[in-house]
Amino acid sequence: MSDFVSGFWNGYVTLITLASIFGCAVVLKLSTKRVAAGEKVETTGHVWDEDLSEWNNPLPGWWRWLFYITIVFALAYLVLYPGLGSYPGLLGWTSRGQYNDESAQADAEYGPLFDKYLKQNLKMVAADPVANQMGQRLFLTYCYQCHGSDAGGGPGFPNLRDNDWLYGGDPETIQATIANGRNGFMPAWEPILGEQGVKQVANYVLSLSGRPHDAVLASAGKNIFASNCAVCHGPEGKGNQTIGAPNLTDRIWLYGGSEKTIMETIAKGRHGVMPAWKNRLGEGKIHLLAAYVYSLSLQGQK
């Protein structure tokens, strides 16, 4: 339930809600037309195909009473549940409270199973088929939106099935990444290097991974890279997992490896955020998730 910044909005929502419900009842009452026995029913004046007329018959009684029942139901609901501004309802129900109750029930039921695997090291859990099935279900619930249901990733979201890692692919580092999140930042260099400098560095970066490039531009970009980029990516461009700087000598690109995309990355920078999950999932679920992701990378090595 939203917290109102002033009492005005609480009263406003309450008034609009109740006025709408009672307005429906008034309109229904005024629209109800009773026809006395023997009284002729008039048409609405709409005629089709010369003799097909629309009659102004009153609404059926069952329909009217069904509408009245829905109005009574709405009023009863608003008395029992929140819906009138900040009024909590007689039952005191909240979506947060229901979520907490269901989470507590699930923890009580599945907590011992999570604790069982929590006592095992991540490599042992990764080799357990049952644990991997549990980790996969957790992944498909919490992680697929960014990394894909097959963990193949997408532009800006890492592929978790290979053995290329920005921050390291050992089980403990994967677990730390899931628990604490990551905040990757690549500054925008166009204000410093200019358009031509960006193009030169981009071609040098392309040369590091053996991709087609302009040799003249790459030669000029090498010195610029050494002065500005090597501090993060290393003098040879092999990256730095301590700060999440990617290896530029392979053919794996988080945002794309075309000259245009690389220039865009250098010119405008990138800011990637991996949220921290420790407060939401807890230690047991993160342990299973980390083991599952680690098992995917093992499969990618085969």
Rounded distance between C-alpha atoms, residue 296 and residue 300, angstroms: 6
For the chain, domain boundaries: 7-93, 96-181+276-301, 184-274
Tens of pLDDT, residue by residue over 146-177, are 999 999 999 999 999 998 999 999 999 999 99
Average pLDDT over every residue of 230-252:
95
Residue 300: pLDDT above 60? no
Structure tokens at 43: 């048409």
Burial of 228 (0-12, 13-18, 19+ CB in 10 A): middle
Range 96-181+276-301 classified under CATH 1.10.760.10:
yes
Handedness of CA 143, 147, 151, 157 (dihedral sign): negative
Residue 249: pLDDT above 80? yes
Query: Is the pTM above the cut of 0.85?
Result: no
pLDDT of residue 38: 64
> Which CATH number is associated with domain 184-274?
1.10.760.10
What letters, b where the CB count within 10 A reaches 16 and e where it falls short, cover 115-130? Answer: eebbeeebeebbebee
Average pLDDT over every residue of 109-122:
90
Q: What percent of the chain has pLDDT over 90?
A: 72
The answer to whether 149 and 158 have CB atoms below 8 angstroms apart is: no
pLDDT of residue 80: 95
Residue 36: pLDDT above 80? no
Asked, colleague to colleague, whether 96-181+276-301 and 184-274 share their fold, the answer is yes
DSSP per-residue string spanning 106-172: HHHHHHHHHHHHHTS-HHHHHT-HHHHHHHHHHHHHHTHHHH-TTS--BTTB--SSSS--SS--SHH
Mean pLDDT computed over every residue of the chain: 91
